[in-house]
Structure 1
Amino acid sequence: MGLEVFLVENKLIITIVMYQTEFSQTPSYDYLKRIMTGKKSAYLLVYDNSKKAQEDELFCRENVRYIHDETNPGLAEAYNAGSQYLQELQGDLLLLLDQDTLIDEAYLETLLGLELVEEIGAYVPIISSHGRQISPVFSDRYVGGKSELPESGVYSQRIMSINSGTAIPQKTIQSIGQFSLDFPLDFLDHWLFWRIHQLGKKVYVLDHHLAHDLSVLDYRTIDSKRYDSIIQGETLFYQKYDQDKFYTHRRHLLLRTLKQFLRVKNRKIWRRTFLEYRSLLMKGK
């Protein structure tokens, strides 16, 4: 009689953040539905920042939790709710997800089967938007349009990845404490990976490619209100956290102003950039 081998899956808690979109219309809905009905070690938290609550057959499942918050506090509050859910379930990994990312079966199966290593602070996929790799990027230097892109592998160098698709082990979550409410939406990802590096943790770039519709990729189409949120988050991050890059950031704002003046029809965009540059110049820091 041979010995039977039982493979233990990681307990994976997926936190997806919604805004003014039906959960059933998200790119990853069909697979999330399959995994929630077929995997005992997978759990889902749907944090809905929409004005009106919604219903879905999945919300009735034991391994799915739905939270509606019409105040729309952004991402940090939702991820903190996901962290609490992780601790409550004594989970192994917290997967951050938003409504614009298309996850696939292979990626989630990889996360469920990972052998977690204490020195790894985050596991991230390679993400593209409209045919261009946007994440992860090396962030030891100022992150700009020509940032270097890592391939799959384990890195001790500073790396920044977008939130969506990032899987964080429970021990990293415990060390971080909570996601910073300084960044309710924009630049939370920069803060998160800055914090992981501060902890002396490495980042594992997995050999998985996911698609994400990044709405803020093009200054020519971005909404002025959203751009204001981005630029506030940028300045706060370089003033309060990654301070070594503050003067590079300030100089970059002037260069960005000139490029936007020439290329972007919405005049509010370049004026907002120049206003930020002038404000930082007058303050000295």
Structure 2
Amino acid sequence: MKSSIKESLNVIIFDNGSINFSSEKKPSDFSSIVYYYNQNNEERGTRIAYQYALQETKDEWFMLLDDDTRITETYIYKVFEELGHSQVSAICPQIFDKEIQISPTSSETIKNLKYPKKAGNYDEDITGISSGLVLSKLFMTKIGGFTNEFPLDYLDHWIFWQLRRHHQIIKVIDEKIYHQLSVQRLEELSKSRFVKIFTAEYYYYKNYQPEHLYSIRKKYVRMIVKGWLKGNTFPAKALIKIILGKK
């Protein structure tokens, strides 16, 4: 990354890992850099990291980044250009997992990936993932910050839901960013991650987009049947418990 970019960035690193790197030397070529090691064993996800950044940043805008997102200099340049003259509350890139655009997509269907969004301004029918998303500190403060309902999974859907609900403009920039999405590879998920992801998904649609709850249940039934046919009963048992609200 060019020094001209680094000198314009205030970086906040929130570490949910198992090793505390507080004593390590920090890069000196950013405008500022803050490292925080999370010692809260009860919450170790993106929500607590995003909330910390919201409270600590002195800037009007902040970008959310996961550690497995490959950001580009071009995207940062385009964000800087956009912030100079645009009346928006959020900016996001077009994010791809290999050849599939996973964000942003339509919010009016559970088959989101079939309806990717092109570059442009949106205030409805849009959702996406949070990594690479640039948010207005003013807007996020007005809505009370990041809800604790979603410690990790589906927090991004909630953010976009809030933006749509408040009729805020979301700018999609014509720049490709690459990110690995775990739900694209269900067979690689541990049982605990599977349960957490689909528990969050069901909770989100039940409480925030109930018009799609029937479609979610149909999807789960298909997954249950598919699992049974393959001799894998775990997804069926897990999804039935989620639908019935059992732990």
Match of 2:32 among 63, 66, 76: 63
2:245 is the alignment partner of 1:276: no
Shift of 1:191: 0.6
1:184 matched to which residue of 2? Answer: 151
Distance in 2 separating the partners of 1:101 and 1:250: 31
Stretches of structure 2 that go unaligned for 5 or more consecutive residues are none
Shift of 1:238: 1.8
Shift of 1:101: 0.4
Secondary structure in 2 aligned to 1:182?
A: coil
User: Any conservation in 2 of the 1:183–1:233 contact (CA below 8 Å)?
Assistant: yes
Stretches of structure 1 that go unaligned for 5 or more consecutive residues are 1-30
- CA deviations on 1:152-189 (whole Å, 9 max, x unpaired) are 11123221110101111223222322111100000001
2:181 matched to which residue of 1? Answer: 214
Shift of 1:252: 2.4
1:74 matched to which residue of 2? Answer: 45
Distance in 2 separating the partners of 1:59 and 1:261: 52
TM-score with structure 2 setting the length? 0.87
- CA deviations on 1:55-101 (whole Å, 9 max, x unpaired) are 54326676000010132521111001111122xx1x13210000110
Secondary structure in 1 aligned to 2:65?
A: strand
2:26 is the alignment partner of 1:85: no
**What count of residue pairs does the alignment treat as equivalent?**
241
- CA deviations on 1:188-234 (whole Å, 9 max, x unpaired) are 01111001111111221110001112233111111111111111111
2:81 is the alignment partner of 1:110: no
Cα 1:41–1:177, aligned 2, differ >3 Å: closer, same or farther?
Answer: farther
Spell out structure 1 runs of 4+ moving beyond 4 A: 59-62
User: Any conservation in 2 of the 1:126–1:210 contact (CA below 8 Å)?
Assistant: yes
Secondary structure in 2 aligned to 1:137?
A: coil
Distance in 2 separating the partners of 1:127 and 1:38: 21
- CA deviations on 1:218-273 (whole Å, 9 max, x unpaired) are 1111111111111111121122222222233223221232234446x754233312
- CA deviations on 1:24-55 (whole Å, 9 max, x unpaired) are xxxxxxx3xx55x8544311100000122015
Match of 2:141 among 163, 174, 197: 174
Aligned ranges 1:190-269 → 2 under 5 Å: 190-262=157-229, 267-269=233-235
Cα 1:262–1:219, aligned 2, differ >3 Å: closer, same or farther?
Answer: farther
User: Any conservation in 2 of the 1:253–1:276 contact (CA below 8 Å)?
Assistant: no
TM-score with structure 1 setting the length? 0.77
Distance in 2 separating the partners of 1:48 and 1:271: 34
Amino acid at match of 2:37: H
1:12 matched to which residue of 2? Answer: none
Cα 1:56–1:214, aligned 2, differ >3 Å: closer, same or farther?
Answer: farther
1:159 matched to which residue of 2? Answer: 126
Distance in 1 separating the partners of 2:125 and 2:175: 20
Secondary structure in 1 aligned to 2:182?
A: coil
